[in-house]
Every structure is written in structure tokens, then in C-alpha cells.
Amino acid sequence: MHRRLLLPVLAAIGLAPFAAPAVAQNAGEVAVYSARHYDTDRRLYDAFTRETGIRVRLIEGNADQLIERIRNEGANSPADVFITVDAARLARAKEAGITAPHGSALIDQRVPQGLRDPQGNWFALSQRARVIMYDKQRGLPQGLLRYEDLADPRFRGQICVRAANHPYNVSLAASILAADGEAATESWAKGVAANLARPPQGGDRDQFRAIPSGQCQLAIANTYYLAGIGASQAPADKELFERIGVIFPNQAPGDRGAHVNISGAALVKTAPHRANAVRFLEFLTNREAQEILALGNMEYPVVEDVPLHPALAALGRFRAEPINGDRLAANSAEALRIMQRAGWR
């Protein structure tokens, strides 16, 4: 999240940016390898140190690079915890043999079953829904209730979306592949590609920012980005936020629910500070940590009864699709090939 959006949020919830932790005593350390790069996460680590006296040693990098680094370091790896975005990446870490079951009944109690690995190798910390956005001034698009509807010819030339190879889109296509099968997913991807208003470009914010100018009428983007705009104090951002409507797809009874991209954490198999690592993982699921993520970074918490930022709450409620990280990981390569064959580049 950009610092200019984060600071007003932190002020609103009474958190001073980058306050130095007041550590009562040194209780050792925990080494966190993280592919998340947010100021909010550093506040999370400071809060853990204040509570426990355990110092967080942070190593940041690209998710795939961190997985490979831990593999190469082997039994001598200093890594205790691996954090990343996207369930498929967490499943890849598990497949690479670098994670281990955390064994914490507390985590299993707090995090719903549909948001954690069945074997306990990883669990979700936060969620972002991948939704369909539209122009409220044009009105709610008729017949657009499911992701599958995006392929309908009635939406020809209307859709803006980022490149196919971004993990958000790969994960969405992998979930459709799991739900509908290869032939239907191929047809869906061809339909979406035919309905694009312009070649894929930019990030999620660029997609819904193009709606008021008429470049597109629909955007596929994550809630996190729109809520961040809603939290801004800039008049232009507030005006944009009020103009963009959100459709949470696949909400009918019996349907699978809206696709979510998660951030998640895993215990590293060779963790040299295992007890500290488990304590840190448990901390990530307590109310304080979940509030920091939800209020400071515009993400949906994974623990019940944690308040949302008002800008995120304004988007509405939804039912999420259960996460199957192993299946998403298994489907990712084929999902990307399908999108690219369809002309979604």
C-alpha cells in the first residue's frame, strides 16, 4: 500500500507510523522470509516484539526466489517463517518440501478450514476479493452475476484487466478450471479476450481508473486497491471511489462464491527457532494482528468479528470461494496456457 494512503489510515486507528518497539527483554528472534512489502507488516512485527520480546529478523524478496533460497540453504537455513501472497505459491512452497505442519490448535481454531492447508502446512492471514467493477453512473450491468458471464458477447469491448500472467489472474483462471473443467475454461478465456476494451496493461488500479474516462465499462480488480482509493483524502480519489460499483460474483445459493487472493504464512521445516516461529504464527491470528492488517492495509481478516476499514466495508459483504491451494498450484500452468492461447496476453 502506498505510504500516502497508509499514513491517514494509521492516524485514524491510533497507530503512529514506524514507532520503535519497546522491548522489555530479549527473548531471542524469529527469521521471517516475506514476499509482502508493506509498512503495515512492519507495524505487525513491532507489535509482536513488544508483546513477546522476540525480535523479528526480516528478509524480503520475490516469493519464488525466497522458496528457492530456502531450498538452497537446506538444513542450515536461518528461515523460520515464510510469508507470501497467493495460495498457489504457498502450495508450491509445500510441494518444494520447505514447510512443515505448525501443529497449533490455536491457529486451527481461529482460522476457518477453507482458509488453511488440510495438513497444516500454511494458513491465510488476510484476503482480497477479486471482483467485477462497473460505473455506477451507467447503472448495474444486467446479466453479470458470475465470472463466467464475463465471456458473454453482450460485453464485447467493455472489459479492462491486467496481463494474464499476473498471479491474481492466473489464480482466478485456475479456480475456474477447477470448477468448470478445461473445455469450459478455454471457452471462457476466449470470450474474455474477445470482450477486452484494450490490450491488458498496468495494475489493478489502472483498470478501474479507466472506467470514468470511458475506456472500459467493466474492470476485473481486487477490493484491496479500490478500498485504498476510498481511504484517500484526495477529492479526486473520493470522487472515483463513489463512482465505482462492485459486483461480488458467484453468490447465488449453491454457487461457489467469489474468488479470493490470500496472503498466508507457513512454518519452515528446518526452522532453527521453531517455538518462536509457532508463537509468531499464532500472534498473526490474534485480534490485534488481524486488526492491523484489516484497518491498516484494506484486507479482509480471516478471523471472525474483526472490524473492517469503513472504505472496505462500504463495498459490501460477500461469500468467498473455499481455498484449495494444492489444486490452484496444480492448475496454474495450464490456466496460464489457456489464457494465452485465447489471446489474453
Backbone angles phi, psi at 136, to 5 degrees: -60, -30
Local confidence band at 5 (pLDDT 50, 70, 90 cut-offs): very low
All three cell numbers of 233: 483524502
Number of structural domains the chain divides into: 2
> For the chain, what percent of residues have pLDDT higher than 90?
90
Per-residue pLDDT tens over the stretch 46-87: 999 999 999 999 999 999 999 999 999 999 999 999 999 999
Residues 6+ apart with CB under 8 A from 155: 141, 144, 149, 195, 217, 218
Rounded Cα distance between 111 and 167, Å, is: 23
145 shares its domain with 36: no
> For the chain, what percent of residues have pLDDT higher than 70?
92
Rounded Cα distance between 198 and 40, Å, is: 34
Local confidence band at 10 (pLDDT 50, 70, 90 cut-offs): very low
Range of the domain at 82: 3-127+260-313
118 shares its domain with 172: no
183 shares its domain with 80: no
11 shares its domain with 106: yes
326 shares its domain with 211: yes
pLDDT of residue 27: 74
Per-residue pLDDT tens over the stretch 85-142: 999 999 999 999 999 999 999 999 999 998 999 999 999 999 999 999 999 999 999 9
How far is the first Cα of the chain from the last one, in angstroms, to the nearest whole number?
26
Encode 242-254: b = buried (16+ Cβ within 10 Å), e = exposed.
Answer: eebbbbbbbeeee
67 shares its domain with 179: no
Q: What is the CATH number of the domain that holds 101?
A: 3.40.190.10
87 shares its domain with 165: no
From the list 14, 23, 20, 26, the residue with the least C-alpha distance to 51 is: 23
Rounded Cα distance between 100 and 93, Å, is: 10
134 shares its domain with 244: yes
153 shares its domain with 51: no
55 shares its domain with 110: yes
Point out the least confidently predicted range of 20-24, 112-116, 147-151, 290-294: 20-24
Per-residue pLDDT tens over the stretch 150-186: 999 999 999 999 999 999 999 999 999 999 999 999 9
332 shares its domain with 206: yes
Average pLDDT (203-229) is 97
Pair type for strands 159-160 and 218-222: parallel
121 shares its domain with 191: no
